[in-house]
Amino acid sequence: MNISAPSSPVCILGLGLIGGSLLRDLRAADVQAFGWNRSPSKVQEAVDEGFDVSGDLPEVLQRAQTNNAIIVIATPLPAVEAMLDAIQEHAPTCTFTDVVSVKTPVWEQVQARGMQDFYVGGHPMAGTADSGWSAAQQGLFDGAVWVITYDHAEKNGQAPSDEWSDRWVEVARMAFLVGAEVVPSRSRTHDSAVARISHLPHLLAESLSIVGDNGGALALSLAAGSFRDGTRVAGTQPSLVRAMCEGNREALLVALDEALELLTDTRATLAGPERSVQDLAEAGYRSRVRYDVRAGKRENVGLGVTASNRPIIRFRPGEKGWMHHLVQAEEMGARIEIF
Amino acid sequence: MNISAPSSPVCILGLGLIGGSLLRDLRAADVQAFGWNRSPSKVQEAVDEGFDVSGDLPEVLQRAQTNNAIIVIATPLPAVEAMLDAIQEHAPTCTFTDVVSVKTPVWEQVQARGMQDFYVGGHPMAGTADSGWSAAQQGLFDGAVWVITYDHAEKNGQAPSDEWSDRWVEVARMAFLVGAEVVPSRSRTHDSAVARISHLPHLLAESLSIVGDNGGALALSLAAGSFRDGTRVAGTQPSLVRAMCEGNREALLVALDEALELLTDTRATLAGPERSVQDLAEAGYRSRVRYDVRAGKRENVGLGVTASNRPIIRFRPGEKGWMHHLVQAEEMGARIEIF
Check CB contact of A329 with chain B, cutoff 8 Å. no
Q: Where are the beta strands (DSSP E) in chain B?
A: 10-13, 33-36, 53-54, 70-73, 96-98, 122-124, 145-149, 181-185, 312-315, 335-338
| Nearest residue of B to residue A101, measured between CA atoms | B222
Q: Cβ of B12: how many Cβ atoms within 10 Å?
A: 28
Q: Are A26 and A139 in contact (CB under 8 A)?
A: no
Residues 243-282 of A with CB under 8 A from B: 245-246, 249, 252-253, 255-260, 262-264, 266-267, 270-271, 275-278, 280-282
CB of B231 less than 8 A from some CB of A: yes
Q: What is the pLDDT of residue A90?
A: 98
CA distance A315 to B131: 44
pLDDT for res B298: 47
Q: Do A277 and B231 touch (CB under 8 A)?
A: no
Contact between A56 and A35 under an 8 Å Cβ cutoff? The reply is no
Is the pLDDT at B194 greater than 60? The verdict is: yes
A191 touches chain B (CB under 8 A): no
Chain B residues closer than 8 Å to A189 by CB: 218
**A263–B283 CB contact, under 8 Å:** no
Facing B210 at nearest CB: one of A194, A205, A283: A283
Task: Tell me the H-state helices in B113-224.
Answer: 151-156, 162-177, 187-194, 200-214, 216-222
| Integer Cα distance of B291 and B220 in angstroms | 30
Q: Categorize the per-residue pLDDT at A308 as very low, low, confident or very high, splitting at 50, 70 and 90.
A: low
Cβ <8 Å between A333 and B216: yes
Query: Could B230 and A307 be called an inter-chain contact, meaning their C-beta atoms sit closer than 8 Å?
Result: no
Best B131, B222, B242, B258 residue to mutate vs chain A (most A CBs within 10 Å)? B222
Predicted confidence (pLDDT) at residue A7 exceeds the cutoff of 90: no
Phi, psi of A22 (to 5 degrees): -65, -40
Helix orientation angle between B249-271 and A249-271, rounded to the nearest 10 degrees: 160
User: Which chain A residues are Cβ-neighbours of B208 within 8 angstroms?
Assistant: 200-201, 204, 259
Specify the range with the lowest mean pLDDT, choosing from A1-5, A163-167, A259-263.
A1-5
Query: Considering only CB atoms, which chain A residues are within 8 Å of B220?
Result: 197, 290-291, 294-295, 333
A302 CA to chain B: closest CA distance, Å?
A: 10
ipTM: 0.90
* Integer angstrom CA distances of residue A93 from A36, A57, A68, A283, B308: 19, 16, 8, 50, 56
Residue of B nearest to A143 (CA): B224
Beta strands in A82-227 (DSSP E): 96-98, 122-124, 145-149, 181-185
Would you say residue B294 has pLDDT above 90?
no
- pLDDT band of residue B128 (cuts 50, 70, 90) is low
Contact predicate A320/A165, CB 8 Å = no
Residue pLDDT, tens place only, A107-133: 999 999 999 999 999 999 987 656 789
Q: Which residues contact residue B272 at a Cβ distance below 8 angstroms, ignoring those fewer than 6 apart?
A: none
Instruction: Write out residues 32-91 of B within 8 Å (CB-CB) of A.
Output: none
Helix (H, G, I), strand (E, B) or coil at B127: coil
The yes-or-no verdict on residue A216 having pLDDT over 50 is yes
What's the whole-number mean pLDDT along residues A190-204? Answer: 97
Q: What is the pLDDT of residues A14-28, one digit of tens each?
A: 999 999 999 999 999
Give the contacts of A49 (CB within 8 A, at least 6 positions apart). none
Closest by Cβ to B230, choosing from A205, A263, A289: A205
Q: Do B222 and A190 touch (CB under 8 A)?
A: yes
Using CB atoms, pick whichever of A229, A264, A291 lies closest to residue B212. Answer: A291
